[in-house]
Chains A and B, each alone.
Chain A
Amino acid sequence: MTQTKAFARGFRDGLSVPGFVLISSFLGFGALIRESEFTLFQGLLSTATGWALPAQIAMVELYTAGASFLVIALAVALTNVRLLPMTVVLMPILRSASTPRWLPYVAVHWLAITGWAQALRVCPELPRPVRIAYFMGFSMVLWPGAMLGTLLGYFLAGSVPLAVSLGLVFLNPIYFMLVFASDLRIKARVWALGLGAVLGPLLHLYLPDMSLLVTGLVAGSLAFVIGGGLSRKKQGAS
């Protein structure tokens, strides 16, 4: 498989359900931009450079509420902390011996939940050298698609029936839920998903700012232990 073929396959895969879901979720962000102090151009820039919807929403709301840049930086850091373990998990799959050192640092900008889950599912079946090309092809549908969603949301705000616009925003978590539920073969991972799903909303009630980080560490570590992570023999030096 050539780089071009892999990129094209990623592009085609992006053009179905994931692309549609992502465009829909950014409609809500476009509507939010319209009610905020941000211009449409700044909203599009946020989607292009931030590429992580929950933190984009947090930033716009905090700025509009008059928060300082330090508070914004902290909130974004806590909201986006998931990108660190996600990158550590995906990069070894995307990299190959022939990958230039700088390339992962460029490609990682497009790493977000949708592309991450897709690459984890598809890339292990592809030859190593073309995996980044597949990931980039997929991302090059999602990224412009999200900007299109932001644009549409900005102009359509208020003209779509409320029930439909709520349904469109709801597509995003439903899609993620199904993608994670589709692969339940590894015991530790199932525990991580289950415990995380219970702990996430609970902690959000008591520790809204830190809830994601704490959920990841506590539920993830528990799942690691229950799933047999500690009972296995250590390979090589620890």
Chain B
Amino acid sequence: MKETLTSWGPYIALAVTFAVTYGWRSLGVALSGRIRTDSLIFEWVTCVAYALLAGLVARMIILPLGALAETPVIDRLGAALLALAVFFLTRKNLFLGVFSGFACLVLLTWGRAGFVIG
């Protein structure tokens, strides 16, 4: 029994994740057919969606999970602010904005390691 569960466990976890995730998506489709886009409730749902996403993105930058958590928060904030600045200074060039954020974090991380490369 234990061995069967060990070999099938990951597949059950995958199936559970898919079912729950697709559940939210399909519920969204069902509801979207009933909510008029010029209604107040639609406006409110839009606000909720944007607030939720902004909260998630801010959390990913300020309190990341995984390996990024090892970098100082000031480095991540600095890189994010630089990305924003470059983005708006280059008339919203997405590539340059994203790249400068990436480069800034990489250089800061290297710099803190005392330029130990290789």
Binding site for B on A (CB under 8 A): 16-17, 21, 28, 32, 37-39, 42, 45-46, 49-52, 54-57, 59, 63, 69, 72-73, 76-77, 80-92, 95, 104-105, 108-109, 111, 113, 161-182, 188-189, 191-201, 203-205, 211-213, 215-221, 223-224, 227, 229-230, 232, 234-236, 238
Number of A-B contacts (CB under 8 A): 298
A50-B14 in contact given A197-B58, A200-B54, A235-B39 (Cβ < 8 Å): yes
Interface centre among A77, A104, A167, A174, by most chain B C-beta atoms within 10 angstroms, is A174
The answer to whether A57 touches B66, judged by C-beta atoms less than 8 angstroms apart, is yes
B56-A163 in contact (CB<8A) = no
- Interchain CB contact under 8 A, A91 and B49: no
What is the 8 Å Cβ interface bit string for chain B, positions 45-78, against chain A (1 contact, 0 not)? 1111111111111111111111110110000100
- State how many angstroms separate the Cβ of B118 from the closest Cβ of chain A: 9
Q: How far is the CB of B22 from chain A (nearest CB, A)?
A: 6
B-side interface residues, number (CB < 8 Å): 79
Q: B61 contacts A173, CB within 8 Å? A: yes
- Whether the Cβ atoms of A72 and B51 lie closer than 8 Å is no
Q: In the complex the two chains form, what is the Cα distance from A161 to B94 in whole Å?
A: 25
Q: Give chain B's interface residues, CB within 8 Å of chain A.
A: 9-14, 16-29, 31-33, 35-40, 42-68, 70-71, 76, 79-80, 83-84, 87-88, 92, 94-95, 97-98, 101-103, 105-106, 109-110, 113, 117
**9 A-B pairs closest in CB distance:** A200-B55, A87-B28, A216-B52, A196-B54, A220-B48, A196-B51, A215-B55, A91-B32, A219-B51
